[in-house]
Amino acid sequence: MKKIQMVDLRSQYLNIKTEIDKGIQEVIDACAFINGPAVQTFQKNLEQYLGVKHVIPCANGTDALQVAMMALNLKPGDEVITTSFTFIATAEVIALLKLTPVLVDVDPDTFNIDPRAIERAITPKTKAIVPVHLFGQTAPMEEIMEIAGKHNLHVIEDNCQAIGSDYIFKDQERKKAGTIGHIGCTSFFPSKNLGCYGDGGAIFTNDDELARQMRVVVNHGMTVRYYHDYVGVNSRLDSIQAAILNVKLGHLDEYAAKRRLAADFYDNAFANNPRLKTPCRFTRSTHVFHQYTLETRNVDRKALIEYLASKDIPAMIYYPVPLHMQKAYLDPRYKPGDFPVTEHLCETVFSLPMHTELDTEQLAHITQSVVEFLNQ
């Protein structure tokens, strides 16, 4: 059996090697390393794929979030509402810009931000909401946009984990995750659903003025060459990474289908197991399974992960610590117990290998080993 990995980038590369190598070689032959044609082509292709007016490539997903907040001209002390169950980057940029992160709990089934909790957290200082489309499904954007509209707030979607996912509105209209709020952000970190071979990111918007502003921010706040009207940052997508992304974007839907097949295999194997709760499929979103995350019930999670490791099966905990209990983010406004759903998930969830190259033999070994541990 092929060695099981959380993400098997090498096997995926070998299947697209000819296209990838050609794309990289073209950039080197042209020596167009910064903002070369590959970047422009990728920008256009991604705009078309997402059905969004503007894609602004940048250096990584964390920068994408930071640039979005800078472009909205948020001021120190402005409150930004986000989820307590996410990767740290979301809260990190809020803190770096001296904005005030306001955390809210998540839905116990989808693990995504709970719109009712958002509404309760709004104050006169609230300026923006940052929903995270966690593990590959879109947060309830229709409700979130309604709340934002009512209170005149901006919505920045952290779409680092759900690129390619469709949000399905009540009238059945579909939009791509990341294109529903005022701004969407994504990461092309290698292990993301659309990953490059280094760092990369992008920002999406349908708003011409915000797009103009964000293009200025990513380029040192420069309006006319060497005239700087704003304090900006340097955040670019490298041309070689863009060439790789151009190839992988062509495979993105096929990759999502492969992830779904692996998820179906897991779902079937664990169906009706009283000690495991398989991922909920939110009716308003397609699932692109960035992660396959199970909730355990009365299971010694540490022992389970150790047992799997003894069978050469990796497993991870996303995420072990809620944001409000991270040392760097301890805040007198929050204490343990404030976000019971998040705290419960941090104690009980674990994620199994999920990528585009899992074969039936590997999936059978993984599921049999999990069941074996639970039955012992």
Ligand X SMILES: *Cc1c(COP(=O)(O)O)cnc(C)c1O
* The residue type at 41: T
Instruction: Quote the CA–CA distance of 120 and 110 in Å, as a whole number.
Output: 20
Instruction: Quote the CA–CA distance of 212 and 226 in Å, as a whole number.
Output: 17
Smallest distance, Å, CB 220 to ligand X?
A: 20
Which position has the token pair 């770096």?
Answer: 96
Which position has the token pair 């099981």?
Answer: 4
Contacts of 260 (CB under 8 A, 6+ apart): 287, 288, 289
Smallest distance, Å, CB 198 to ligand X?
A: 10
Considering the complex, state which of residue 186 and residue 362 has its C-beta at the smaller distance from ligand X.
186
Tell whether residue 156 is a contact of ligand X (CB under 6 A): no
CA atoms within 13 A on the CB side of 272: 1
Stretch that binds ligand X, among 104-112, 154-162, 166-174, 207-215 (CB under 6 A): 154-162
Smallest distance, Å, CB 96 to ligand X?
A: 13
Dihedral (C-alpha) 278, 282, 287, 291: value to the nearest 10 degrees?
-40
Binding footprint of ligand X, residue count (CB under 6 A): 15
> Which residue of 23, 36, 57, 61 would you call a contact of ligand X, by CB under 6 A?
61
Task: Tell which positions 315-354 bind ligand X, by CB under 6 A.
Answer: none
Task: Tell which positions 65-124 bind ligand X, by CB under 6 A.
Answer: 86-87, 89-90
Task: Tell which positions 183-222 bind ligand X, by CB under 6 A.
Answer: 187, 189, 199, 201
- φ, ψ of residue 246 to 5 degrees: the values are -60, -40
- φ, ψ of residue 358 to 5 degrees: the values are -70, 130
Stretch that binds ligand X, among 158-166, 224-232, 297-305, 350-358 (CB under 6 A): 158-166
Smallest distance, Å, CB 189 to ligand X?
A: 4
Smallest distance, Å, CB 238 to ligand X?
A: 13
Considering the complex, state which of residue 178 and residue 201 has its C-beta at the smaller distance from ligand X.
201
Angle at Cα 256 formed by Cα 343 and Cα 2, nearest 5°? 90
Contacts of 131 (CB under 8 A, 6+ apart): 82, 83, 112, 113, 139, 141, 144, 155, 157, 158, 181
> Which residue of 107, 158, 238, 343 would you call a contact of ligand X, by CB under 6 A?
158
> Which residue of 8, 54, 56, 60 would you call a contact of ligand X, by CB under 6 A?
60
> Which residue of 84, 161, 246, 291 would you call a contact of ligand X, by CB under 6 A?
161
Considering the complex, state which of residue 86 and residue 367 has its C-beta at the smaller distance from ligand X.
86
Smallest distance, Å, CB 199 to ligand X?
A: 6
Considering the complex, state which of residue 135 and residue 270 has its C-beta at the smaller distance from ligand X.
135
Residue pair 61/201 in contact by the 8 Å Cβ criterion: yes
Smallest distance, Å, CB 241 to ligand X?
A: 11
Smallest distance, Å, CB 178 to ligand X?
A: 12
What are the angstrom distances between the C-alpha of 282 and each of 111, 263, 340? 10, 14, 21
Considering the complex, state which of residue 316 and residue 371 has its C-beta at the smaller distance from ligand X.
316
Contacts of 251 (CB under 8 A, 6+ apart): 16
Task: Tell which positions 259-288 bind ligand X, by CB under 6 A.
Answer: none
Stretch that binds ligand X, among 73-81, 153-161, 305-313, 362-370 (CB under 6 A): 153-161
Smallest distance, Å, CB 259 to ligand X?
A: 15
Radius of gyration of the chain (CA): 21
Contacts of 28 (CB under 8 A, 6+ apart): 240
In the complex, which residues of this chain contact ligand X (CB under 6 A)?
60-62, 86-87, 89-90, 132, 158, 160-161, 187, 189, 199, 201
